Amino acid sequence: MADDAEVQEDGAPSDVVATAPEPERLHGVPVTRSRGQEVLHPSRDELVTLVRTLRDDEGYLMCLDVTGVDYLTYEADRGLPEGIAPERFEVVVTLISHRARKRLRLRVQVPEDDPTCPSLFDVHPGTEAMEREVYDMFGIRFEGHPDLTRILMPEDWEGHPLRKDHAIGRIPVQFKAPQDAR
Amino acid sequence: MSTVDHPPFDPTSEGPQEMEPRRCVGAAELLRELGATLRMSEAEVAALVQEDPSEDQTMIINMGPQHPSTHGVLRLMLELEGETVLRTKPVVGYLHTGMEKTAEDLTYLQGPTNVTRMDYASPLFNELAFSLTTEKLLGIDGDIPERAQWIRVLMTELNRITSHLLFLATNGMDVGAVSMMVWGWRDRELGLRVLEAITGLRMNHNYIRPGGVAADLPDGWRDTVLRFLDELPESLDEYDVLLTGQPIYRERLQGVGVITPEEAIALGATGPILRSTGVPWDLRRDMPYLTYDQLDFDVVVGSYGDCFDRYAIRFHEIRESMKIVRQVLDRMPPGDYRIQDKKVTPPPRARIDESMEALIHHFKIFTEGFKVPEGEAYCAVESPRGELGCYIVSDGSSKPYRMHIRGPSFVNLQTLPHMMRGGLIADAVAIISSVDPIMGEVDR
Amino acid sequence: MAWDLNKGLEGLEHNFLTGTLEEFVKWARRMSVMPATFGLACCAIEMMGAGGPHYDLARFGMETFRASPRQADLMIVAGRVSQKMAPVLRQIYDQMMEPKWVISMGVCASTGGMFNNYALVQGVDQIVPVDVYAPGCPPGPETLLHAINTLHEKIRDGHLTRRPGEGLGLVVEQRDGQPSDQPVTLTTAGSH
């Protein structure tokens, strides 16, 4: 891997290239490429404006998916560009542009001590159920969501199952000898 | 239902639908204003119904989760005025299986067994989405042998036919044509026998695996598939007579559950729902995967966005899938049915007796699993219900760090309140049936 | 002769009339079992397949799946039971009238199946008493028919006069894809 010199773009902070992801910004936020797929890294404050701009100006009319990831026990390289501080949770939004036949992924860092994220419901009403699922499974609250309640687990369930510190809940399997049929 | 003006749609247009951004803003605001979704938690509704209901004009009743007309365990809370549905809230979660959590405990080779049980009417599509994403993470997505890709196309299109036959059967029964239930299963059985002959199982096949498919096509597969394809058109003509031309069926479905293209896009609907509104979006043609770019088929698009359009789309998609299968029969190349990379695919069983190295590879792949380089990827396929996507985050170990399946039915269910608004309860049944949700992928 | 109603048919002293009556009742019970619609997941698809024309539950008198539990005698729990669904399952079971039977179809209903995690009840016998377990993932229609026939046999043998709270707990073997002792010539596309 060649050690590249600092690259400065107009108006963009200088990023030192150390590994494969290039220092560039797309639509105003840092971008990386993961297996050939474009991934943007907005901050929580930039998220709603970015999605709105992408919808209105760039043709990303549909939000396909909103999901979360808990990076608590992740030890490898997360593939984040310079300048993005890794947090425990990530909210991953996938958008699609029918005209350009392209998908775009957004990864938003959400800290553990303040697990909130602005809701995309006003921009894409179809994110309602998906944000409820992320809340249910990870405990990330979406501000501005009209009805943030549990969707998959019973309403009185305690805990957020897809967090890494939530046990899988496996019961010990004990061998039972077959009972004689009466 | 909507006050936004539509430009005349050309349903036969092949190009991507031109959508102005303005319209989408209108739809989002409109959806919020209409207030078709009941925004109350289950606990609040439970508290509400304990009060005297006769004081209110409207009534909130519960439909499901055990009900003959819901597809699986879907519960609907309906706010009714008389028999008219005002607001609805679909309550899901009654089939939540923790599959995404289980996936973090299973290796990538065991992954398809878990994922295949999500959309259980079309299991091969789940396996395909998972395998494509794993292959992209491994970096072998360009090296999958030709034959493996053609076999995958064959199996998924056969699965599409059986899934749509299930839709026809349940849709007919929900609307009242109970004979359709029996006839639909008759033909679905023929399709399941073909799938059983090739994969070994009738359902939840675990056949499409990262690297290719599990086993080569058996001898005589061409005759088995051809026999199925030859018997199907006659049955499809029978269904046409029973359903499409029949006035009661048309009365029940035409004009019912109308959704506009802007609403469908704003809500994230994909698949037959989106195509019924006139948006000609099909991943097989617009973002092709496997060998779909070499195949000749039409994308069926509706124009009214109602239940009848969705029925007609799925009906014709059976015919299109048959067309695709015939092309695959002619063009199936010889070759490997899975990639020969020893790190990913287990060696042939016969070699285990001969070679120590083969035995070790087999052992390691089946116990520890193959390691996938770190990173994240999202791949999607066009399942009978819409865009079925798989998002995997890998940390370099042999088990996914996070696996998420974007289930099309989960997102499509959000269109239910808007489709049901203003209709009758009987229409609610027809509308759910036309959305064709499979609760396994809704709840995962 | 005092007849203790709680013991059902067991409480009757057998003479010619009551013996024939008992046989008749058992015949009626097993020849027209009405299953309640309790299809949850993949097994429900195979259950519907068993009701289809190739496997035909109607020849056992069971093609009418009653939606209302009040009218049903048999609950075939077809599919995985999640935490949210468990109270609903119990409620439906309670609404069924005696005599009632439960077939646990598939491994998810019998033991939790491949999903040994927080979300599923590990075996529906934790909630309702089960009479027959049908293994498979999913059990094909042949296995389900074998389970149903086993249930009918037990009804005929009188083993299933109801003792409240206890299920029979029989496990049947899988019969999918195996040649039957009465092979049927298929005239349509089939693999065997």
- Which of A94, A128, A168 has its CB closest to that of B101? A168
Mutate to test the interface with B, among C43, C71, C82, C96 (most CBs of B within 10 A): C82
Between residues 153 and 182 of chain A, which touch chain B (CB distance below 8 Å)? 153-155, 161-162, 168-169
**CB atoms A76 and B406 under 8 Å:** no
Phi, psi dihedrals of residue B53, rounded to the nearest 5°: -80, -15
Mean pLDDT of chain A: 81
**pLDDT-based confidence at B230, cuts 50/70/90?**
very high
How distant is the Cα of C121 from the closest Cα of chain A, in angstroms? Answer: 10
Shortest CA distance from C121: residue in chain B: B97
Shortest CA distance from A57: residue in chain B: B21
Kindly state the tokens that stand for A15: 């990023």
Is residue C190 within 8 angstroms of chain B, CB to CB?
Answer: yes
Chain C residues with beta carbon closer than 8 angstroms to that of A157? 83
How distant is the Cα of B128 from the closest Cα of chain A, in angstroms? Answer: 18
Cβ-Cβ contacts under 8 Å for B175 (sequence gap 6 or more):
B249, B252, B253, B429, B430, B433
Q: Residue C170 pairs with which residues in a beta bridge?
A: C132
Any idea what DSSP says for residue C23?
Answer: H
CA–CA gap between residue C101 and residue C35 (Å, rounded): 9
- Which of B28, B39, B42 has its CB closest to that of A125? B28
Chain B residues with beta carbon closer than 8 angstroms to that of C117? 97-98, 101-102
Mutate to test the interface with C, among B117, B158, B174 (most CBs of C within 10 A): B117
**CB atoms A125 and B32 under 8 Å:** yes
Mean pLDDT of B165-177: 90
Shortest CA distance from C170: residue in chain A: A181
Between residues 101 and 160 of chain A, which touch chain C (CB distance below 8 Å)? 152-154, 157
Kindly state the tokens that stand for B154: 């064959």
Percent of chain B surpassing pLDDT 70: 87
Kindly state the tokens that stand for C114: 């491949």
Residue ranges in B200-293 assigned as alpha helix (H)? 221-239, 247-253, 261-267, 272-276, 283-286
**Residue A4: how many CB atoms within 10 A of its CB?**
11
**CB atoms A153 and C168 under 8 Å:** no
**Maximum C-alpha span of chain C:** 61
pTM confidence score: 0.86
Chain B residues with beta carbon closer than 8 angstroms to that of A125? 28, 31-32, 266-267, 414
Cβ-Cβ contacts under 8 Å for B90 (sequence gap 6 or more):
B74, B75, B76, B413, B414, B416, B417
Q: Look at residue B34 in the predicted model and tell me its pLDDT.
A: 59
Shortest CA distance from A79: residue in chain B: B375
Shortest CA distance from A97: residue in chain B: B16
**CB atoms C118 and A154 under 8 Å:** no
Mutate to test the interface with A, among B391, B405, B441 (most CBs of A within 10 A): B391
SS3 A102: strand
Q: Look at residue B207 in the predicted model and tell me its pLDDT.
A: 92
Kindly state the tokens that stand for B54: 């006769």
Sheet holding B375-383, edge to edge: B375-383, B386-394, B402-406
Chain B residues with beta carbon closer than 8 angstroms to that of A79? 374-376
Kindly state the tokens that stand for B89: 């809230």
DSSP B421-443: TTSBHHHHHHHHHHH---HHHHH
b/e map B142-173, b = 16+ CB within 10 Å: eebbebbbbbbbbbbbbbbbbbbbbbbbbbbb
SS3 B344: coil
pLDDT tens by residue, A10-45: 444 444 444 554 567 777 888 888 888 889 999 889
CA–CA gap between residue C137 and residue B188 (Å, rounded): 19
**pLDDT-based confidence at C191, cuts 50/70/90?**
very low
Q: Is the pLDDT of residue C158 over 80?
A: no
CA-wise closest residue to B387 among A153, A118, A101, A145: A101
Q: Look at residue C190 in the predicted model and tell me its pLDDT.
A: 40
How distant is the Cα of B432 from the closest Cα of chain A, in angstroms? Answer: 17
ipTM: 0.82
Work out whether strand A116-118 and strand B208-209 pair parallel, antiparallel, or are unpaired.
unpaired
Mean pLDDT of B87-106: 90
Q: Residue A25 pairs with which residues in a beta bridge?
A: A30
pLDDT tens by residue, B323-351: 999 999 999 999 888 888 777 888 877 77
Angle separating helix axes B123-138 and B146-175, nearest 10 degrees: 150
Q: Is the pLDDT of residue C89 over 80?
A: yes
List Cα–Cα distances, C126 to B59, C88, C122, in angstroms. Answer: 36, 14, 8
pLDDT tens by residue, B104-121: 989 999 999 999 999 999
Is residue C37 within 8 angstroms of chain B, CB to CB?
Answer: yes
Q: Look at residue B136 in the predicted model and tell me its pLDDT.
A: 92
Q: Look at residue A36 in the predicted model and tell me its pLDDT.
A: 84
CA–CA gap between residue B4 and residue B24 (Å, rounded): 10
- Which of C83, C116, C159 has its CB closest to that of A171? C116
Interior CA angle at B142 toward B140 and B148, to 5°? 90
**CB atoms A161 and C122 under 8 Å:** no
SS3 C44: helix
**CB atoms B410 and A146 under 8 Å:** no
- Exposed, middle or buried: residue B425 (CB in 10 Å: 0-12, 13-18, 19+)? middle
Residues in chain B: 444
* Strongest mean pLDDT among B196-200, B365-369, C158-162: B196-200
Neighbouring chains of B at 3+ CB pairs under 8 Å are A, C
CA-wise closest residue to B161 among B131, B115, B192, B182: B192
Is residue A67 within 8 A of residue A73, CB to CB? The reply is no
**CB atoms B97 and C118 under 8 Å:** no
Is residue B225 within 8 A of residue B151, CB to CB? The reply is no
Q: Look at residue B351 in the predicted model and tell me its pLDDT.
A: 76
Chain B residues with beta carbon closer than 8 angstroms to that of C52? 181-182, 185-186, 188-189
- Which of B66, B97, B203 has its CB closest to that of C45? B203
Any idea what DSSP says for residue B299?
Answer: P
SS3 A55: helix
Least confident segment among A130-139, B6-15, B380-389? B6-15
Mean pLDDT of A53-79: 89
Chain B residues with beta carbon closer than 8 angstroms to that of A129? 92, 410-411, 413-414
Q: Look at residue A178 in the predicted model and tell me its pLDDT.
A: 52
List Cα–Cα distances, B392 to A23, A145, B375, C119, in angstroms. Answer: 24, 26, 8, 21
Q: For residue A161, say if its preceding peptide bond is cis, omega within 30 degrees of 0.
A: no
Interior CA angle at C6 toward C5 and C12, to 5°? 50
- Which of A61, A65, A99 has its CB closest to that of B406? A65
